[in-house]
Structure 1
Amino acid sequence: MMDQTPWGPFSSLDRTDRDLAHEILKWDKHQVLEGMVVERAFDQMLEHAASESNGDLQLLDLETFVVRSPNARSPPVAFVWLRGTQPGQRRYLDALAKVFTVYHLELINDDFHASRWDSKHLTPRRPLADLVREIGRKPRYQAVAQDVKDETRQNTAIWGFLAEALSTEQIWTQLVIPRLLVNFLLQPFFIGTWNLDRICLFREELWMLELKHKFPMGSGANFGLNDGELRMMRFMSDAGLRPAHMIIVKPVRDITVKPMYLFNNRQLRERAAVIGVEMTRQKIDLIERKPLRTSAKHTTITGAGTVGFRELPVSIFSRLGNYGEEGRKISPEILKLLTGDKLEQASGKWLGELAQAAPTAPWR
């Protein structure tokens, strides 16, 4: 059984073809590509923090996708692709196995193979295409709505940053293959798919970082938090990881604003607050008790339907700085967040002052 994509079998795709990479990326809605730009912005901050941590902070180079099991009585299933060999990987897989059925993915001869992971042994490898057809449902391939695929915004994300920041090999390994994996090799076979943004090791403790670029809702006192993402934080906490949520706050409260200002507009960059919070079990409990609300269709992965979310108070976050500050200023604050040191509290008033002062000149 082969893994099929709209561009041919997965194993047949030319991973030296930059144009093909860009075409595949543009299958997704423009917000997915813009999210890749934002994740690179976070990576720059995290890499600088790691370089200043005396070896305390290590970023794990991996991808994790969690899906619901078709059997309602079975735990969710986690698929983990390790792109290299690093300390902490086995501990991470062991931790996930406390709450999920875990499969370790390997890219062998240009195809994904999977082996069931538990703390004692790996089951024999088998093609991922065979496994998902055995444990999943009959595949349902969903198209992405055209009204959430703004080609200008897609091209801006690709040519304005990603194509220059990453080599062809990096574009395929870091961006294209994960999107092919979720869109065509996993998601069609399951109901509900979540990607864990970043996993890191800090002073021998595993952390899951949820990274976002958004602005507060309404009066500015709350953000929205996808209910599925909140559940992932709960699972991570139950697995023994420490989940944290970090946000680059948009200084212009308009969903049409593209993230490229993070790199080419100094005035806006200096108004983009960076905030963070460790999502302890107490905080997760607090948010789970809030009413479940329904988001607009543009927030879903295909631009159709709705997603449930809950309010996340700005006041539970700490100030880490602003994106325009030099790494030497913001890195210590990130490390303090992970250490548990006291930080200055964020507030809706502070974010409002940054937003009100943001220039109204054109941005890209």
Structure 2
Amino acid sequence: MDTPWGPLAGLKLDDPEEAVKILAADKHQLIEGLVVESLFDQIVASVPESTEQKIIALDVDSAVIDTMRRSERWLCLVWARTESEGLGRYLQALEKCVTPYLVRYRNGEFEAVRICEGRRAGKYRPLPELMQEMSGSRMTRFEVDPAVRNVNRQKQAFWGFLSEHYGNRLGNRVVLPRILMNCGIQPYFRRVWNLDRVFISGNSVWIFEIKHKYPIVPNAHISPGPLQFGINDGELGMLQKLSDAGIRCLHTILVKPVWSKDAGSMYLLNDLAMRSRAAVIALALDSSTIRRIMGGQSGQSAAHTSITGKSTLSYKKIPVSDFSVLGRFSDPPQDIARRIAAIMAETAMPRATDMWISDLRKFVP
């Protein structure tokens, strides 16, 4: 597979210098998001210990694609680094709503095979060949606007955490997933969504999404109302499709103490006081909840919120009061994990309030 840095098979993916060059092609907020996801993983690792229900974390990267085609419009590419227990249940659940393909990385190339009735149907094919066929050979290089690629923030996230944390797993865990998305999928399709984490709980499939952002503050003079968080219409529609097949989503938000897009994520590592101001809240999205949210009026976000930083997005608003409290980021991971397990078990949890979120806000000069 070709990449802007040369053939994929020839890249030194575990070389930090090569890795930071590749990751620099993404938004700085996406790179900072990888830091948040990794820290959240350390919390989620305690979830199985917090419940009597067996919970399995799948070692997969998943990309849901709306091809806009008449037949087999929706696809899901699942890169399973390890084919562990629960993978079959996940693929079978996906088959109820999309056409799944199992992806593997072999000899420096990505390959994919269609899944039918939980089994491989045919032989693995080079991913670029499959994408060209599915897209009608339409391909546009995926590029991110330089305005949303702050080099300093990218380097801080990479050298300040990602490089050290992942070590010799850097290529497999961080760089390859971005190459798969940016070079293997998004040049062919623009309506693509990455599923952060996948868990099997009993007979249920859960998607865990973690966002790092601050609430929408209403203008008291123009449109007074509660604090709200936005969720993109496209993402919501994708989650609706999954939820109709019984796949649930835990939509988790790590609330920034500083309500500004200029605030990064490194405070989570080096500022204990700010960690204690970072609220962790979550909302279980099932089919009925998603339909209710989708019934609301859409807003238009600024271009910097899109994956390329070049286009606006339509979004719906979710009141803060819809979310359950998981705690603060400074809480012991086991406590947050226990509350996550409680939400998954449909146990009533304390709701977040505007006052609580506002009291945690940090004003900076």
Q: Does 1:101 align with 2:99?
A: yes
Q: Which runs of 5+ in 2 are unaligned?
A: 219-225
The residue that corresponds to 2:345 in the other structure is 339
CA distance in 2, matches of 1:328, 1:14: 37
User: Aligned AA for 1:325?
Assistant: D
Q: More displaced, 228-237 or 36-45? A: 228-237
Q: Which runs of 5+ in 1 are unaligned?
A: none
Instruction: Tell me if the contact between 1:208 and 1:236 (Cα under 8 Å) persists in the aligned partners.
Output: no
The alpha-carbon distance between structure 1 residues 15 and 217, as it changes in their structure 2 partners (threshold 3 A), is same
CA distance in 2, matches of 1:37, 1:50: 22
Instruction: Tell me if the contact between 1:277 and 1:317 (Cα under 8 Å) persists in the aligned partners.
Output: yes
User: Aligned AA for 1:331?
Assistant: A
The residue that corresponds to 2:110 in the other structure is 112
Cα offsets for 1:34-79 (capped at 9, x unmatched):
0101101211110122344457222111011111224145331111
CA distance in 2, matches of 1:280, 1:104: 25
| TM-superposed deviation, 1:192 | 1.1
The residue that corresponds to 1:162 in the other structure is 162
The residue that corresponds to 2:149 in the other structure is 149
User: Aligned AA for 1:92?
Assistant: Y
CA distance in 2, matches of 1:15, 1:277: 36
Instruction: Tell me if the contact between 2:90 and 2:200 (Cα under 8 Å) persists in the aligned partners.
Output: no
**Which residues of 2 match residues 293-304 of structure 1 at below 5 A?**
293-304=299-310
1:221 to 224, 227, 251: 227
The residue that corresponds to 1:280 in the other structure is 286
User: Aligned AA for 1:189?
Assistant: Y
User: Aligned AA for 1:87?
Assistant: E
The residue that corresponds to 2:323 in the other structure is 317
The residue that corresponds to 2:221 in the other structure is none
The residue that corresponds to 2:15 in the other structure is 17
The residue that corresponds to 2:314 in the other structure is 308
CA distance in 1, matches of 2:13, 2:159: 18
- SS of 1:189's equivalent in the other structure is coil
Q: Does 1:82 align with 2:80?
A: yes
Q: Percent of aligned positions with the same letter in both sequences?
A: 35
Q: Does 1:66 align with 2:59?
A: no
Q: Does 1:327 align with 2:326?
A: no
The residue that corresponds to 1:185 in the other structure is 184
CA RMSD in angstroms, aligned pairs only:
1.6
Using the size of structure 1 for normalisation, the TM-score is: 0.94
Q: Does 1:26 align with 2:18?
A: no
Q: More displaced, 43-52 or 263-272? A: 43-52
Instruction: Tell me if the contact between 2:142 and 2:183 (Cα under 8 Å) persists in the aligned partners.
Output: no
The residue that corresponds to 2:237 in the other structure is 231
**Which residues of 2 match residues 105-144 of structure 1 at below 5 A?**
105-119=103-117, 121-122=119-120, 123-137=122-136, 138-144=138-144
Using the size of structure 2 for normalisation, the TM-score is: 0.93
CA distance in 1, matches of 2:95, 2:329: 36
User: Aligned AA for 1:197?
Assistant: D
CA distance in 2, matches of 1:280, 1:238: 8
CA distance in 2, matches of 1:70, 1:224: 24
